[in-house]
Structure 1
Amino acid sequence: MEWALAYLLLGAIAGFLGGLFGIGGGTILVPVFLWLFEAQHLPPDHTMHLALGTSMAVILFTSLASLRKHHQHGAVDWRVLRHITPGILSGTALGATSAALVSPHFLMVFFALFVYFAATQILLDFKPHAGRELPGIAGMSLFGTFTGWLSSLVSIGGGTVVIPFLIWCNVPLRRAIGTASAIGFPIAVGGTFGYILIGSHLPALPEMHLGFVYLPALFWAASASVLTAPLGAQTAHRIQVPLLRKGFALLLLGLATKLLLKAIV
């Protein structure tokens, strides 16, 4: 029961932050799942994959719960979602197949520097060019491929890339967060399917698993996240935009620092 309570608490926190900032919650889920799985003495050779796969599966439920609330506030751009989803799905598959060919340390450093740059612009409220708009279908599909590929390789939520890009294209912050919450769903679909597939025939995995998705952790964490994600989304539409912008920028800076330290160590 103590593990169930830990999963419930983790899911509640990740769901609220995912709904508030449109990031899915994987930034919190993966390291804490890893710690909990190690404490439960799950197979040590597979704890990281189990943490990643279970996190992706939880985000399936979190993103659906948060996007529903954002949609009620008119903050989801469904045209963007339609145009970017094919690229997202192909990008996650590309990331899974190219993982062995690309240095993860280089990617983490590159991405951390990009996030530092984006977070600084958001924190200082730099205004994009007034005439800048979202690209067409081809451009959105290409950006989706890049987002899915990067998300798959360095285990970050798509919102970390999508929201700065949408803001750069003059999309209002709340609408960017709501749209990123919706985009998190196809990323989670591709990622979850991949982790189920690659772990489906491996021996020495714990009982009650589906590939690299550990079902007890999924059940309890998702049960809590679907309740708190709408609360986070509701909060995003109640607090003042400058405060929301600063909170998101600080979250990005923390993520970038975490990735940079991981790459260096």
Structure 2
Amino acid sequence: MNELIIISLAGFLTGITTYMFGFGGGFVVVPFVYQMLSNQYPYNPNVMHVAVATSTAVMIFNSSFASYVNWKKGNVHKNLIYPLIIFIAFGAVIGSLISGTLSDHFIRYAFIFYMVITIVDCIFRKGFFKQVSKRDLSVPTYSIGGVIIGIVATILGVGGSVMTVPLLRRHGNTMSESVACANPLTLPMAICGTFIYSLYSSDVGMKDYHFVGLINTSILILLIIFGGLGIYLARFIPKIPDSIHSKVYVWLLILVTIAIIF
């Protein structure tokens, strides 16, 4: 019973962070599922893979809903999404195929390393906390950069928002615009990744749960239901000033990194 409550609260929090910060699920779901399953199955080598796969599946629903809500509000700009989304999708396919060859420990440490680098970059590199003049993404940025975002985000199950939000922010967009566009940019990774993860063997040594491939459907259903509720209610939260929005974004990254470490 306690686990059901915790899963529901995690789903609700995931919905709020999806809408407000573009975190389609990975930054809450991966540490949460990893911690919960590793306590139950401390010697299981598939825990991190299951956390990443389940997170990826959650993002299809959360990012779709958040994208629709932001589109209705006029916050989603086509020029910020296309053609970047095409290259992210290509990278997502590559990342999905690579992920199955990597060890559980490698993915966990890569997740931590990825988060630390992102936090340091946001804090010490100009252009994130203070909005700069707008400029278009260069061809190398949206092509090569898009493929890299797709690969890394799919392997780690983080949705790519931690790369796309700072990227769009440094090109002069507000936090609201960057977050709104991060959700649809997450969808290619979520769809491609979920499809590939669903094809893996379901024999992961966790008999208390139901699986489709590596995706824990028992946890997934609750996360989707309460995540949707969180997104719906987050629409009524007053708009955060841009400077505060960017700082809260980084603090959330720090909290998640601490959670996955300990």
Structure 2 match to 1:223:
225
Seen in structure 2, the aligned counterparts of structure 1 residues 226 and 119 have a Cα distance that, compared at 3 Å, is farther
Alignment RMSD = 3.1
Residue 204 of structure 2 contacts residue 214 of structure 2 at CA under 8 Å; is this kept in 1? no
> For the Cα contact (< 8 Å) 1:116–1:252, is it kept in 2?
no
Structure 1 partner of 2:28: 28
The count of aligned residue pairs is 257
Query: Per-residue CA shift, 1:148-205, capped at 9, x if unaligned?
Result: 11112334331100011101111222111100012122221122112112235x4645
- CA–CA distance in structure 1, aligned partners of residues 112 and 2 of structure 2: 34
Q: Deviations over 1:215-241 (max 9, x none)?
A: 111111110001112333553x62222
**TM-score normalised by L of structure 1:** 0.82
Contact 1:30 1:51 in 2 (8 A): yes
The question of whether the paired residues in 2 share the 8 Å contact of 1:91 and 1:145 is answered with yes
Measured after TM superposition, the shift of residue 121 of structure 1 is: 4.5
Point out the more displaced range, 189-198 or 36-45: 36-45
Superposed CA deviations along residues 80-132 of structure 1, whole A, max 9, x for unmatched, are 3341222122212222344558976578546623431224447973443x363
Q: Deviations over 1:16-50 (max 9, x none)?
A: 11211012121111121123224455982322222
Moved over 6 A (4+): none
Alignment of 1:72-111 (within 5 A): 72-99=72-99, 100=101, 109=113
Unaligned runs of 5+ in 1: none
The answer to whether residue 127 in structure 2 is matched with residue 112 in structure 1 is no
What CA distance in whole angstroms lies between the structure 1 residues aligned with 2:55 and 2:181? 20
One-letter amino acid of the counterpart of residue 132, structure 1: R
Task: Return closer, same or farther for 1:107/1:222 CA change in 2, 3 Å cut-off.
Answer: closer
Higher relative contact order (CA 8 A, sep 6+): 1
CA contact (8 A) 2:56 2:159 kept: no
Query: Does 2:52 correspond to 1:58?
Result: no
- For structure 2, the 5+ residue unaligned runs are none
- Give TM-score scaled by structure 2 length: 0.83
Amino acid paired to 1:172:
T
Report if the CA contact (8 A) 1:7-1:221 is conserved.
yes
Give 1:239's aligned amino acid: I
What is the aligned partner in structure 1 of residue 172 from structure 2? 170
- 1:133 alignment partner, one of 132, 136, 144: 136
User: Residues of 2 paired with 1:96 and 1:149: CA distance?
Assistant: 7
Bigger helix share = 1
